[in-house]
């Protein structure tokens, strides 16, 4: 029974890692579709989100089966419940990439972004992809120290998001309300993608240590 449980938990961790990898790849393509007004890439992200949704459902089913059939307690129960919560975070990351692609598709053949903010979104996209890869690594390794560093990676995203608003609020903004709304929404999508990646890291820390961190830089101690 114990061997079967460990094997099922390993399979669940691999599944979650695969989902995080797909979410990161989706955001990478969504960003390119946004910057280049590339309809083909946008459609690819929209179509391939079905795979993330499929894996999300499968991961939930496996996690709930573990609850029902294995009746885990203590640390085992913590692992399963954390897995269920992580499914929701990673699924949301994929959905946010989907939202970016849908805006790019809706504005095609026009570019969504004014040229002056392209650099912001190119860098936000780069950070989002990096965070997706980091979330995948953390899910596969369950390394709490590495998981804690996701908070640091997210700080650059937060800085860019704040700076983006200074551009929008500048009196010289000449692109109209519709463009401002698009930029605001897109900035929020990237920020939330990063936030969910950080949340994955926090949940992995909880899974391993038994303590949900309030400060990702705090020392980590494994629970008994």
Digit-coded pLDDT (tens) for 9-57: 888 989 999 999 999 999 999 999 999 999 999 999 999 999 999 999 9
Q: How confident is the model at residue 2 (pLDDT cuts 50, 70, 90)?
A: low
pLDDT by residue (tens digit) across 72-125? 677 788 888 899 999 999 999 999 999 999 999 999 999 999 999 999 999 999
Q: From CA 8, how far away is CA 24, in angstroms rounded?
A: 25
Whether residue 52 is contained in a domain is answered as yes
Whether residue 76 is contained in a domain is answered as yes
**Residue-wise over 148-180: b if at least 16 C-beta within 10 A, else e?**
bebbebbebbeebbeebeebeeeeeeeeeeebe
Whether residue 214 is contained in a domain is answered as no
Whether residue 170 is contained in a domain is answered as yes
Sign, CA dihedral 185-187-191-193, equals: positive
Residue numbers of the domain that contains 96 = 2-209
pTM attached to this predicted model = 0.90
- The CATH number of residue 172's host domain is 1.20.58.220
Whether residue 92 is contained in a domain is answered as yes
């Amino acid at each position: 029974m114990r061997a079967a449980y460990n094997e099922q938990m390993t399979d669940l961790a691999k599944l979650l890692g695969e989902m995080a990898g797909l979410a990161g790849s989706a955001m990478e393509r969504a960003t390119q579709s946004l910057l280049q007004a590339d309809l083909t890439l946008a459609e690819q992200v929209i179509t391939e989100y079905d795979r993330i949704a499929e894996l999300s459902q499968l991961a939930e089913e496996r996690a709930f089966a573990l609850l029902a059939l294995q009746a885990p307690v203590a640390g085992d129960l913590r692992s399963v419940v954390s897995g269920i919560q992580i499914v929701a975070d990673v699924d949301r990351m994929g959905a946010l990439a989907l939202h970016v692609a849908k805006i790019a598709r809706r504005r095609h053949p026009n570019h969504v972004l004014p040229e002056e903010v392209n650099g912001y979104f190119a860098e936000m996209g780069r950070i989002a992809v990096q965070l997706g890869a980091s979330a995948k690594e953390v899910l596969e390794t369950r390394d709490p120290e590495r998981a804690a560093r996701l908070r640091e990676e997210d700080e650059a995203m937060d800085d860019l998001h704040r700076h983006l608003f200074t551009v929008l609020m500048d009196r010289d903004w000449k692109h109209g309300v519709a463009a401002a709304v698009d930029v605001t929404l897109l900035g929020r999508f990237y920020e939330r993608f990063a936030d969910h990646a950080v949340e994955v890291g926090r949940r992995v820390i909880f899974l391993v240590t038994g303590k949900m961190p309030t400060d990702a830089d705090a020392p980590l101690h494994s629970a008994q």
